[in-house]
Amino acid sequence: MMREYHVRICERLKGRFLGPTRLVVHCTHKYAALKLLGSIRGRLKSCHLEINEEKSRIVYCHRNQKKQPKLKETYQKFDFLGFTFKPRTVRVRGKQVLGFTPAISQKSTSRIASELRKRDIHRWVQLPLGKIAELLRQKIRGWVNYYGKFRLSDMRKLFRILHIRLVKWIRNKYRRFKRKEWVYAYRYLQKVSRCYPNLFYHWQYNVLRP
């Protein structure tokens, strides 16, 4: 961490300070983590800055270690860059072990789900399904390529919301599904996803299909 401030001069001759960097520091022992956290507080204080106590915490990365710490930690997970890091069961060399891995966070899932709901896709009855897929393709590709890097299957809950909207779109667009139960429209969507697996970007992954 440098003592000098990074400043970018804008066109109107005003200084603009870049946002503070979020750090993840790994330590081998709790007491080393406490000492380092105190050092970070002191360094920021020397620059007339304060650490965000709500977002700064010591997290125990619980895994299949042979030696467990004597003290049980309050926090065993944390969010960073849209991912939640926490203990999860993973497969290593054909065996299931407890690892500390990232996956899309609940906050990111809620934000994207809110964006999907605001679009009112089920009301786009004037558009064919292919056009809807084209309009959403860039967004979906960005979500999958970023959040799907780790535990792609954890995004099923997110795309289930999109599929429910598409089922409502099917019932609103086609008369033969209006008077039938919801499951018939859902089966129709499943059939379309099998026949056209590249229609929506995420359909190319079997785990994310309806």
Render pLDDT for 55-106 as a digit per residue (tens, 0 to 9): 777 887 776 665 555 555 566 788 888 999 988 888 888 888 888 889 999 9
What is the rounded average pLDDT for all residues in the chain? 83
Give 99's contacts (C-beta < 8 A, 6+ positions apart): 63, 64, 87, 88, 89, 90, 92
Return d(Cα 210, Cα 207) in angstroms, integer.
Answer: 9
For CA atoms 102, 103, 105, 106, the dihedral sign is negative
pLDDT (0 to 100) of residue 50: 83
User: And the tokens for 96?
Assistant: 């299931």
Same domain (yes/no): 4, 69: no
pLDDT at 2 over 60: no
Same domain (yes/no): 110, 190: yes
pLDDT at 198 over 70: yes
pLDDT (0 to 100) of residue 20: 55
The maximal CA–CA distance of the chain, rounded, in angstroms, is 70
Same domain (yes/no): 110, 204: yes
Same domain (yes/no): 162, 84: no
Q: Calculate mean pLDDT across residues 17-39.
A: 74
Same domain (yes/no): 156, 167: yes
User: And the tokens for 102?
Assistant: 């990232």
Same domain (yes/no): 111, 166: yes
- How many domains would you assign to the chain? 3
Q: How many CB atoms lie within 10 A of CB 113?
A: 16
Same domain (yes/no): 69, 156: no
Q: How far is CA 193 from the centre of its chain?
A: 24
Same domain (yes/no): 43, 121: no
Q: Calculate mean pLDDT across residues 198-209.
A: 94
Cβ(50)–Cβ(44) below 8 Å: yes
Residue after which a domain boundary falls, among 73, 102, 131: 102
Same domain (yes/no): 85, 131: no
Same domain (yes/no): 86, 137: no
For residue 134, what pLDDT band results from cuts at 50, 70 and 90? very high
Residue after which a domain boundary falls, among 41, 58, 75: 58
Same domain (yes/no): 120, 204: yes
Q: Calculate mean pLDDT across residues 122-133.
A: 95
Question: Tokens 């060399």 appear where?
Answer: 93
Domain of residue 144: give its range.
106-208
pTM of structure: 0.74
pLDDT digits (tens, 9 = 90+) for 49-65: 888 777 777 887 776 66
Same domain (yes/no): 64, 96: yes
Q: ∠ CA(84), CA(86), CA(92), 5° rounding?
A: 115
